[in-house]
Amino acid sequence: MIAIVDYGMGNIRSVEKGFAKVGADVRITSDPKIIADAKGIVLPGVGAFRDCMKNLDNLKLLDSIVKEIQKGKPYLGICLGLQILFTESEEFGICKGLDVFNGKVVKFRFEGNQQLLKIPHMGWNTVKLARKPPIFDGIQDNSYFYFVHSFYVAPEERTIIAGTTEYGIEFTSMVWKDNVFATQFHPEKSQELGLTILKGFKEFVTAQ
């Protein structure tokens, strides 16, 4: 069973439907015990970093999620589920994250002609693979995925970067280290290629 963490924000049902399409056994939950019993964790979400951390803290989920990651349990973070893995975010003032990875979450800042680019970055864009995670089996370099975000992660450890995307600047759009996979884009909104990623995560979890 894969636990989809419900902390009151984001597109939980669309993620659940995506996993159902690839035959995964998923359960939406905010119960730390169920998360501990699950074979894998998915943390999706859209919205403000601070609200996300506050909601997870109120539900007593912060320590449990970090503990399960440290145990080696497969984790898939989507959008906010990627960003909260880092040390801190500058959104609405500095807010601490889970600090699984060293680095910050920063806002797009454009100058000159780049100011014509809209924030949030919304719509389809390509992901250039720096390293190919096992959950990306069958997906080609520079494939298109769906994005919607105003902030992006800036990792201090370059070795965790698995994919980058161009939007005024080149930013990190995917990270991977051992059991942790996380994307800035939304697999559940990215049609067949997105489902391929969800299937890849399901198979990674099953293999553990």
Q: Which of 16, 52, 79, 95 is catalytic?
A: 79
Question: What separation in angstroms does the CA of 142 have from each of 99, 104, 147, 159, 163?
Answer: 29, 25, 14, 19, 9
Q: Which of 68, 91, 121, 186 is catalytic?
A: 186
Torsion angles phi and psi, residue 8, rounded to 5:
85, 10
Which of 139, 170, 178 lies closest to 153 in space, CA to CA? 170
Indicate if 186 belongs to the active site: yes
Question: What separation in angstroms does the CA of 180 have from each of 28, 44, 124, 125?
Answer: 19, 14, 24, 23
If you write DSSP's letter for every residue of 19-47 in order, what string do you get?
A: HHHTT--EEEE--HHHHHHSSEEEE---S
Q: What is the set of active-site residues?
A: 79, 186, 188
